[in-house]
Amino acid sequence: MKKKIAIVMGGFSSEYGISMQSGQVVYESLDRNRYEPYRVVISKDKWVLLDDKEAEIPIDRHDFSAVLSGDTLHFDCVFNAIHGSPGEDGMLQAYFELLEMPHTSCGYYQAALTFNKRDLLRVLKAYGIPCAPSYSLDMGQEVREAEIISTVGLPCFVKANRAGSSFGISLVRKAEELGRALEVAFKEDQQVLIEKALEGTEVSVGVIRYQGKTTVLPITEIVSENDFFDYAAKYEGKSQEITPARIKAEVHRKVADMAEFIYDVLKMEGYSRSEFIVVDGIPHLLEMNTTPGLTRASILPQQAREAGISMPELFGSAIEEALGKKP
């Protein structure tokens, strides 16, 4: 019997539109011989299932079900395609775990930790993972510009701490630019992370559970036409994403080993995509995404294709992993 799969998309953050694209690609790609996919849009205003005519059918949040053609529809598994809150910060993971519903994400603790860039880097530094010098700031806290600059130097990146890497980020080259950058970041989150701008080669590497094994995908080199890998670079073609990355074999091994170590030490499940800057042959972790983009042009699907994994295989394996988890 075909498994009924809810593909959740949308979310509460600025990445709503990107998530809708990712969810639609998953919906179109799943093998109809094995799965019966349904699109479920989650927003601050409503949770609805979209039927074949794009009509909205309310989701009962008590058990995550819907009434379709007079019958109550219960799902066998949830495929999480929500970038940002509530799909990447642990909220949905905790909800589904309370319902004992299989889902393709990592656990709620891992999602909450990795979504908080500051806390993730602090945890991983204890394991010897190199990171850029950083400074954290909460909304309302006194901004001590001299202290910030003495800690991280210039240029530096100002980032929303609990948001994706596409919004709320600025490159600051001069001290007088810091105030405006903080305003941009605080529009996305009440916590800000300020990091030294490392000079080196930026690479991205996906690590997934595939056919029962932790699998490191081919590494992608990021060459942005802009100052950094921002929204335009990611989604408007303002970058080159070169897979496999043009890096030495020794550096490749270091990045792959570090990404796999992080995945395993955090007891991750599902998809992950980690970003590094390689400085003098040493990878420095920037962040880890647990619900990476899944459009056909997104980095993780590109890496999967390079590894010989098709979109139906990539998405189907995540579902089978979720269904195979012990409650």
- On whether the 3-104 domain is CATH 3.40.50.2000, my answer is no
CATH class of 112-130+199-323: alpha beta
Render pLDDT for 291-303 as a digit per residue (tens, 0 to 9): 999 998 899 999 9
CATH class of 134-196: alpha beta
Q: What is the DSSP string of 138-161?
A: ETTS---HHHHHHHH-SSEEEEET
Does 128 score more than 80 pLDDT? yes
Q: How far is CA 286 from CA 9, 17, 84, 210, 224, in A?
A: 25, 24, 17, 24, 16
Handedness of CA 241, 113, 200, 129 (dihedral sign): negative
What pLDDT score does 232 carry? 46
Going from N- to C-terminal start, the domains of the chain cover: 3-104, 112-130+199-323, 134-196
- With H, G, I as helix, E, B as strand and everything else as coil, classify residue 116: coil
Residue matched to tokens 């890998």: 229
- With H, G, I as helix, E, B as strand and everything else as coil, classify residue 246: coil
Enter the pTM of the model.
0.91
Share of the chain above pLDDT 90, in %: 88
